[in-house]
Structures are given as structure tokens and as C-alpha cells.
Amino acid sequence: MVRVDLHGMSLDDALSEVDREVNHNFIQGIEDRRIEFVTGWGDVLRPGVREYLTEHPLVKELRTDGASLRILLEDLQED
């Protein structure tokens, strides 16, 4: 599982990092399709990242785990 700590970032910077990690892991076809984003308990970063991940087309599943959001990426479609 890839773990990404977003503490201390603005929401815009955190969303850029989230998008970069999701796309990178999906494109690379990394076998472990799970990513954990550590957001803390704040009332701006955590809900903003959660909303973004909920709507992201590459996210298959989203779970809240303490101060983290854990996702499972969609499977890479091979033609």
C-alpha cells in the first residue's frame, strides 16, 4: 500500500498530490491497487479530499480509517 501524508498542505496542494498519486499508480499498473491518504482530523482538508476521491473515476472503493482515507483503484483495462 502506498501511503501519502497530506498534513500541512493547502486543500489545492493536497488535491494536486492526490490526483498525481492516483494517476501515477493507475498508469504504472502497480499490483497493489491501494493508496492511503493521511489527512488528519481537520474540517477542511479531510472533507475536501474525501469529496474529490468520491467523484474520481479511477477510484473503485473509498474507506475512512481513523485520520486516513484509503482507496482501492479500478483495475487497469487491457485491450
Asked if residue 79 is part of any domain, the answer here is no
Determine, yes or no, domain membership for 12.
Answer: yes
Spatial separation of the C-alpha atoms in residues 79 and 44, rounded to whole Å: 40
Q: Which amino acid belongs to residue 4?
A: V
- Give tens-digit pLDDT for 27-74: 888 888 999 999 999 999 999 999 999 999 999 999 999 999 999 999
pLDDT at 78: 59
78: in domain: no
Domain range enclosing 36: 2-73
Structural domains in the chain (count)? 1
- Note whether residue 47 is domain-resident: yes
Has residue 51 been placed in a domain?
A: yes
Half-sphere exposure of 67 (CA within 13 A, CB side): 11
Residue 9, in any domain of the structure? yes
Domain annotation covers residue 68: yes
Spell out the residues 6+ positions from residue 9 whose beta carbon is closer than 8 angstroms to its own: 17, 45
